[in-house]
């Protein structure tokens, strides 16, 4: 119907669903070896499950990077690194075994 709110927009008004994306990417690969991406409105329940797996993998990889950067920062500070100093150089002042 003309003028009616699209179904996806209706769902986005629901509690906790405002961040629903327009498209999803799944762990499934197409015939060219690329991850399958499709509009959310065309996604099946299984597609959503696979998109959740893909996003969880991305989140895990980001967490690993955040954790490594946090460790670098903490080590540089323990070594006396100051805000304008290169973090890698400061962190290397601490011997690996000397924590």
pLDDT digits (tens, 9 = 90+) for 13-47: 999 999 999 999 988 888 898 888 999 999 999 99
Query: Residue 40 and residue 43: Cα distance in Å, rounded?
Result: 5
Distance CA 51, CA 27 (A): 7
pLDDT above 70: residue 66: yes
pLDDT at 29 (0 to 100)? 86
The Cα 52–Cα 73 span in angstroms is 31
Taking a C-beta distance cutoff of 8 angstroms, is the pair 35, 27 a contact?
Answer: yes
3-state secondary structure of 81: coil
Helix (H, G, I), strand (E, B) or coil at 29: strand
Look at residue 3 in the predicted model and tell me its pLDDT: 66
Please report the pLDDT score of residue 36 as a whole number: 87
Do 40 and 20 meet the contact criterion of CB atoms below 8 Å apart?
yes
């Amino acid at each position: 119907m003309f003028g009616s709110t699209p179904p996806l927009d209706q769902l986005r008004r629901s509690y906790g669903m405002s961040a629903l994306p327009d498209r999803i990417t799944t762990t499934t690969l197409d015939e060219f070896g690329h991850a399958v991406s499709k509009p959310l409105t065309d996604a099946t329940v299984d597609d959503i499950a696979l998109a959740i797996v893909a996003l969880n993998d991305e989140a895990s990889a980001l967490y690993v990077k955040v954790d490594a950067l946090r460790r670098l920062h903490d080590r540089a500070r323990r070594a006396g690194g100051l805000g304008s100093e290169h973090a890698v150089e400061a962190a290397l002042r601490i011997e690996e075994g000397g924590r």
